[in-house]
Amino acid sequence: MQSLAQEIQSFSKAKLRKQCTRVTSLSGRRIIETWKGSTVHVVEDVAQPETPCGYVPDHSWDLQVGLVKPCLLLGSQDAANDFSTLRKHKVSHILNVAYGVENAFPDLFIYKSVRILDQPDTDITSYLQECSQFIDQAHSEKGVVLVHCNAGISRAASIVIGYLMLKEGQPFDQAFSAVKSARPTTCPNPSFLEQLRGFSPAGVKGQVNGTNHA
């Protein structure tokens, strides 16, 4: 029976099983680390899937602003928080329909905050009258209003679509097309789309005027 010292002396690296470590970076890039001798060799994982799994943070700023009308703009919180972008588009009023996004320049612009959750059970149409009144206020003051949420894709886009339906009498398809053309990333959640398709501007106006058009 060999002693421990003898076993250590007779040990050979060739007897070790080769080991490798697969690493997935935040960007979704997958690599394989293998030990060869006393160094680590890194190669791309050729077996990686075409679409990386997991959450990949997006650190790029979205400063694109959709021009729905000369005095009505649609964008993300990034645009709302970038002073140069706001000045470039001559923004005077900002309608913030995000949840948990603070107004960046309260002393420089006229704000209205309406906290809306981008959830299927949110009644987006219940906010249209209040938001539309603010947009009309901006227009009456010869201003330019930016409507934004977090990404400027679902909530803010839905409010602008609803505004065109409520205040300009546009049917859903026409209003949606106008907003989509102005900001191609527009993509309200399915529940918002269903609500807007069934939205009746006449019913809202009747409630405001104290009459029932049902």
Residues with catalytic annotation?
149
Catalogue the E-assigned strands of the chain.
20-24, 30-36, 39-44, 66-69, 72-75, 93-96, 110-113, 145-148
Catalogue the E-assigned strands of 47-92.
66-69, 72-75
Q: How far apart are CA 186 and CA 180, in angstroms?
A: 5
Q: How far apart are CA 140 and CA 184, in angstroms?
A: 28
Q: How far apart are CA 164 and CA 33, in angstroms?
A: 56
Which region holds residue 146: left if phi is over 0, alpha if psi is between -120 and 50, else beta? beta
* Collapsed DSSP state (helix, strand, coil) of residue 114: coil
The Cβ-side half-sphere exposure at 95, using a 13 Å CA radius, reads 31
Q: Would you say how long the chain is, in residues? A: 214
Which region holds residue 92: left if phi is over 0, alpha if psi is between -120 and 50, else beta? alpha
